[in-house]
Amino acid sequence: MHKKLFIPGPTEVRKDIREAMNFPMFGHRMPETTQLMGEVADKLQKLLYTNNFIVISTSSATGLMEACSRNLIKNKGLHLTCGAFSDRWAKISKACNKDVDVVEYEWGKGTPASDIEEKIKTGKYDAVFVTHNETSTGVLNPLKDIGEMMKNYPDVLLAVDAVSSMAGTEIRVDDWNIDVVLASVQKCFALPPGLAIASVSDKAMEFSAEVEDKGFYFDFQAFKKYWDKAKQPPTTACLNLIAALNYQLDKIINQEGIENRVKRHKEMAEIVQNWTRENFDFFADQNYLSPTVTCIKNTKGISVASLNEELGKRGAVISNGYGKLKEQTFRIAHMGDITVDEIKWLLGEIDNIIS
Ligand SMILES: *Cc1c(COP(=O)(O)O)cnc(C)c1O
């Protein structure tokens, strides 16, 4: 039996999306690619409320996290960490031989804009790296506040990992002053994995042009060069997935509507949050609860492994805690194309199993 995915990526992929990937191949230097990538970029600009350059990368999101580390730091970067994925970004910068300061918050806490401002004021940093939605802990950081604060520091770039929030929460790139925001498509976009996208501001592009030793595959300038020529990718891209993204963006923008999609994620989150309050407790600080994934503190000491085994027999799978939180927490993802009714069904099944 297929187990419906209530895990924070990959998420459940609808049949019509799978079918949108099934077409005769064309070449990445052919006009079909120009047409396809042009359409995708226009729609992503709409989704993100921006006019910024769109990077479409055949890689997972981690590739574009590395792109940010390589393109946006000349002297020094600042990482704010509050969980496994923000930790990973700091590690990536270090692995690229970049000089970074890392401000660590306890897992489960959010990163307030005022704290970031304290650090940025020092004038030491080229860029600050923020994780919008920390998937390991179920924390949503206050991106709008952070972006608005950054307006006072025009010489510092803001790079954002929105892997598990983009297409599930509102992100207003231009209003919020975000230089780079990146995501992969196997989370709230509800597509199969293998593709990542980002918007990159002119300021970030100009900065990147002056940075040396960026490597080859993830140089923003390479993406721009091929885009300016013919709206094509620098190397052979996962064109089937890009076509599926084009199809899904139509559904998101024209059928469901961006605002309705955000509303549905909020509604699903509230249902899971109410259930969590009644049955368990939150791992995350309740001021920062994520609208796309809830990390539940296992206060009843249930076996998450056996819960998942039982759920499997009923056709669903949830996620255990990430890394060091494995049995202490479990996570229910309410992201992508999962519906309110499916979330209610899942919680009913969990109730039956644990009662
Ligand atoms: C899933 C996830 C990543 C990693 O994405 P990949 O596409 O697997 O590289 C990074 N950051 C966050 C917040 C995530 O949820």
**Whether the CB of 137 sits within 6 Å of ligand 1:** no
66 and 132 within one domain: yes
The pLDDT value given to residue 323: 85
The pLDDT value given to residue 36: 98
Ligand 1 atom with minimal separation from the 63 CA: 9
**Whether the CB of 87 sits within 6 Å of ligand 1:** no
Average pLDDT for residues 328-354, to the nearest whole number? Answer: 98
User: Domain containing 273 — which CATH number?
Assistant: 3.90.1150.10
Residue 131 structural domain: 15-254
Here the tokens at position 130 are 């923020």
**Whether the CB of 10 sits within 6 Å of ligand 1:** no
From residue 301, give the alpha-carbon distance in Å to each of 56, 277, 318, 355: 43, 16, 16, 13
First-to-last alpha carbon distance for the chain, in angstroms, is: 24
Q: How remote is the CA of residue 161 from the centroid of ligand 1, in Å?
A: 8
Q: How remote is the CA of residue 30 from the centroid of ligand 1, in Å?
A: 31
Band of the pLDDT at 324, cuts 50, 70, 90? confident
Contacts of residue 172, Cβ cutoff 8 Å, sequence gap at least 6 = 48, 49, 50, 144
Based on the structure, what is the number of domains in the chain? 2
Q: How remote is the CA of residue 354 from the centroid of ligand 1, in Å?
A: 30
The pLDDT value given to residue 327: 84
52 and 116 within one domain: yes
228 and 134 within one domain: yes
pTM of the model: 0.98
267 and 238 within one domain: no
Tally DSSP H helices, then E strands, for the chain. Answer: 12, 15
Q: How remote is the CA of residue 182 from the centroid of ligand 1, in Å?
A: 10
Q: What is the pLDDT of residues 110-154, one digit of tens each?
A: 999 999 999 999 999 999 999 999 999 999 999 999 999 999 999
* Distance, CA of 292 to chain centre: 10
